[in-house]
Amino acid sequence: MLLPMPDARKLYIEYHPSPRPLAHTVLFIHGGPGESCITFHKFAKALSSYANAVLADQRSVLRSEWEPDRSKINIRQAIQDFESIRRQLGFSSWSLLGHSFGARIALSYAAAFPQHVQAVILENPAIDMEASVRSLLSHYRRLYQAMERPDTEYQSQELERAAQSGNLQEKLAYLAQVPSRYRCICFGNHVLDKESQSLLQYPGFGQEEIRKCQEVMASFRKDPELGKDGAKVLEAVRCPILLLRDAKDPMLPEEQARLIRKKGSEILFEDGSHYLHLKYPERMSKAIGDFLHASRIGKNNPPGNPQAFPL
């Protein structure tokens, strides 16, 4: 369904209800920026055994309505959009699941609206963009050094130039230009895996939708909020936190993982997959269900109005 925001811009929403009475609700926040919630579809169905799942393509992404005002493509607007979705769907509060860059948005939302967020679940998160970008650049440097291809020397030089730059936007622009084959290797062959590619082949998805996602990424790179200290954002979050991460994933440096562990619990995977929800939907769903149950989250949370979610 397409749900209108206060400024009349429409966002694509999916709802996967749980058969459990008074089930808790989890909002999925995709990363990218501009990646879409489409990769969450199978995972959301699995999680519905434990909780209601709400999915949203962020403003101007894929199935959501085009946003011509680039100043509205940023973390602050994303938070306001999610809060509008919560109010319209009738939930007094919910939990947030943020994947990759979506984790940064989830933490900012939880800090801004603590009364409406009961828990935060972070999947291979980027909570501090400077730290994550440095980690990714180091990972690519090791990758290029280990490969023998005609373009690796040039890529290594560009990487070194980006690494030496003190400008976060310049670093992000470099990462956006990394050839897809290297991104696949860097993220365990799951950034552009066959399954997520096949999802984008559904009728109605074409170059225009892909272009929208790319422009969202370009707009987010200009958001000054990206330069904010992620540790301070994390410190402002008071609700329970669950970290789901792969030990080999380069998105979350170990020093950032330690900060999260001080505030919450961690479940570690060890096969190098950035997209855990694509590879382990059942295992992740059970972990989240156990976490919500053990934390006694959502026991007094009104379930909202199911009629607001036509399937």
Residues 55 and 171 both lie in one domain: no
144 lies in the same domain as 177 = yes
Indicate if 11 and 104 belong to the same structural domain: yes
Residues 121 and 229 in one domain: yes
In this prediction, residue 232 has a pLDDT band, given cuts at 50, 70 and 90, of very high
- pTM of the predicted model as reported, rounded to 2 decimal places: 0.88
**238 and 104 share a domain?**
yes
Instruction: Please indicate whether residue 133 or residue 242 has the higher confidence score (pLDDT).
Output: 242
pLDDT for the residue 248 = 87
In this structure, the answer to whether residues 251 and 144 fall within a common structural domain is no
| Count of domains observed in the chain | 2
Residue that terminates a domain, selected from 192, 214, 247: 192
Q: What is the 3-state secondary structure (H, E, C) of the chain?
A: CEEECCCCCEEEEEEECCCCCCCCEEEEECCCCCCCCHHHHHHHHHHCCCCEEEEECCCCCCCCCCCCCHHHCCHHHHHHHHHHHHHHHCCCCEEEEEECHHHHHHHHHHHHCHHHEEEEEEECCCCCHHHHHHHHHHHHHHHHHHCCCCCHHHHHHHHHHHHHCCCHHHHHHHHHCCCHHHHHHHCCCCCCCHHHHHHCCCCCCCHHHHHHHHHHHHHHCCCHHHHCCHHHHHHCCCCCEEEEEECCCCCCCHHHHHHHHHHCEEEEECCCCCCHHHHCHHHHHHHHHHHHHHCCCCCCCCCCCHHHCCC
If asked whether residues 26 and 146 sit together in one domain, one would say no
Domain that holds residue 133: 129-192
Same domain, 197 and 122: yes
Domain boundary among 140, 159, 192: 192
- Are 220 and 288 contained in the same domain? yes
Let me know whether 282 and 151 are in one domain.
no
Q: Are residues 211 and 303 in the same domain?
A: yes
Supply the pLDDT for residue 300. 42
- 96/147 same-domain check: no
- What pLDDT does 152 receive? 66
**266 has pLDDT over 90:** yes
Between residues 78 and 20, which one has the greater pLDDT?
78
Interval 149-194: pLDDT, tens: 666 677 677 777 777 777 788 788 777 777 766 777 777 644 445 5
**Pairwise pLDDT comparison (262 vs 294), residue with the higher score:** 262
For residue range 23-41, list pLDDT tens digits in order: 899 999 999 898 889 889 8
Residue at which a domain ends, from 153, 169, 192: 192
pLDDT tens sequence across 54-90: 999 999 998 999 999 999 999 999 999 999 999 999 9
On average, the pLDDT of the chain sits at 85
pLDDT band at 108 (very low <50, low <70, confident <90, very high): very high
Q: What is the pLDDT of residue 195?
A: 54
